[in-house]
Structure 1
Amino acid sequence: MDWDKLRIFHAVADAGSLTHAGDTLHLSQSAVSRQVRALEESLNTTLFHRHARGLILTEQGELLFDATSAMIKRLDAAAARIRDSEEEVFGELRVTTTIGFGTLWLAPRLPKLYEEYPDLNIDLMLEEKVLDLPMREADVAIRMKEPSQADLIRKRLMSVHMRLYATPQYLARKGTPETMGDLNDHRLICQNINSAQVGAGANLVQTLLSNDIPSVLYVNNYFGVLQAVLHDLGIGVLPDYVVQDFPNLVRVLPEVDSGEIPVFLAYPEELRQSKRIAAFRDFVQEEIISHRKQLREQGNL
């Protein structure tokens, strides 16, 4: 089969529209349509159901789309390996992690990585959704649980605990709670238990809310929770790694703890030799060593 026709077919199937596929490929709609018809004729089958709202793959089209997806995945992996230099680290590296870890821990440390590798381009994708690494939705992931997908190289980086924190100014004004019951006199700042977050964090919030705390501020990510805490709005449920960069935060009710949440770095087996992956992995590991050392010096480990 002609690769150009397969490439155009894949773009149409992915976009669900001849026009949108043409825009992506920089081809006219009529040129895209001709190539798809020619591919259907060569295969003696219909690949799309055509209707007013767009195109839907037929059963035969689904089979071909699965094949072209696998081909493109392998081509992307090959291109990534080719781009990796024997001596240099350069090009795009797509990193996915959670909003909290990405904004509060990873992003503030990236200047060190760029200083060492100025030709590296990081595409930082922050979302709670777990992206499919084998399907190349990202190159490397930092996740708050061990990845379950096959064909991944994984390394445990650290452990995180969700705990309660407040500013000295807030506690001076409102008092420091000594028991869980004392939280009724404070505002709790946390994520809603139904929002996307690690299970241990949601369980801790649920336990705290069972005390019928009258005043609660819900924020849908830990960056927002931290900002509210720093502005003296209340006591926040936050990951313990924030105290490295915000050492003035005071831990409240030390017995309140989510338990250990493992943090893993993972990337596809086929990128094992990637210089960009190796540079990022080593950078993260070095930063975590520094992170743990600083926490010990602060007495927070």
Structure 2
Amino acid sequence: MNWDKLRIFHAVADAGSLTHAGDKLNLSQSAVSRQVRALEESLGATLFHRHARGLILTEQGELLFDATTAMSKRLDAAAARIRDSEDEVFGVLRVTTTFGFGTLWLAPRLPKLYEQYPDLNIDLMLEERVLDLPMREADVAIRMKEPSQADLVRKRLMTVRMMLYATKTYLDSHGGAPQTLEDISKHRLICQTPAAPQVGVGASMVSHLMTYEPSSLLTVNNYFGVLQGVLNDLGIGVLPDYVTEDFPDLVPILSDIETANVPVYLAYPEELRHSKRVAAFRDFVQDEIIAHRKQLKHLGKL
């Protein structure tokens, strides 16, 4: 099968238009059309339904597009390894993690990484969905459980717990901090929406707290929103404990009521084991976690 024709087919399928694909490939529309027709003839199959508003893949076209997409990702991975210099860290590194961890822990620390490696570009993808690392949907993942996908290098980074927090302003205006779980009935609870993807221990903690019938409820579909509600004196929030270093004014509530430890893992494909970009990011995260633990120990929170 002709590689050049496959490359042109992939561009057309991705763009949904001969013209747009031609612009991307620096080819005329007629040249692109000839290559696609030649590929269809060699395969003995129609790859596109042609409409006035564009092109739609046929069933056979979808099968081929899946294959060319996988090929493209593998080629990107190979190119990334080739570009990795023995002495320099540069290029794009695609990092995926949860919305809460990415916004509340990782993103605030990235300036230090850019100071170390000014030629490194981070593409940060915040999703609760677990991206497929072997298929190169991302280069590195940080997740709240051990990845189950095969052919991954895994490293356990830290553990987090879910705890209750509020501001002093909120507590002062609502008769002080609750002393028992029964006192939750006098307060507004801020937590993740039950239907939102989240760690199981967090959902279990919220379910337990709801049995004490808080006076009011604010639910948000991610921890960043929960934090904003707490910081704006709206109530008592269920939050991961890693936010405490960056928001020292948060007051822990009922500190003996906490969840089990949730493991945090860093993972990347086996084929990127020797990537300088991956190694730089991995070492940076580990160093930040060590500094985080020292800070918590200094504050007496560890």
TM-score (norm 2): 0.93
Pairing of 1:1-301 with structure 2 (within 5 A) = 1-22=1-22, 24-50=24-50, 55-174=55-174, 175-301=176-302
SS of the residue 1:137 aligns to: coil
Unaligned stretches of 5+ in structure 1? none
Superposed displacement of residue 9, structure 1: 1.3
Aligned length: 301
| Secondary structure in 2 matching 1:146 | coil
- 3-state SS in 1 of match to 2:217: strand
**1:219-245 CA distance string (max 9 Å, x none):** 222112112211211111111001111
Residue 29 of structure 1 deviates from its aligned partner by 4.2
CA 209–52 in structure 1, closer or farther in 2 if over 3 Å, else same: farther
Distance (Å, rounded) in 2 between the aligned partners of 1:207 and 1:54: 53
Q: How far 1:148 sits from its partner (Å)? A: 1.0
Q: Deviations over 1:90-128 (max 9, x none)?
A: 111111111111111111111111111111111111121
Instruction: Map Cα deviations across residues 151-206 of structure 1 (whole Å, 9 max, x no partner).
Output: 11111100111110011222122111011111111111111110122222122112
Quickly say closer, same or farther: Cα 1:271–1:166, change in 2 above 3 A.
same
Preserved contact between residue 183 and residue 213 of structure 1 (Cα < 8 Å):
yes
SS at match of 1:141: strand
* Deviation by residue 1:50-72 (Cα, 9 ceiling, x = unmatched): 45675454454344334323321
Q: Give 1:275 shift.
A: 0.2
Where structure 2 has 5 or more consecutive residues not aligned to the other structure, the ranges are: none
Deviates more, 1:249-258 or 1:284-293: 249-258
Distance in structure 2 (CA, Å) of the matches to 1:64 and 1:186: 57
Is the Cα contact below 8 Å between 1:193 and 1:203 reproduced in 2? no
**CA 1:28–1:201: 2 relative to 1, 3 Å:** farther
What is the TM-score of this pair, normalised by structure 1?
0.93
**Aligned-partner residue type, residue 191 of structure 1:** Q
Helix, strand or coil at the partner of 1:296: helix
Q: For 1:211 and 1:163, locate their aligned partners in 2 and report how far apart those are by CA, in whole Å.
A: 16
- Aligned counterparts of 2:185 and 2:76: Cα–Cα separation in 1: 54
**Secondary structure of the structure 2 residue equivalent to 1:245:** coil
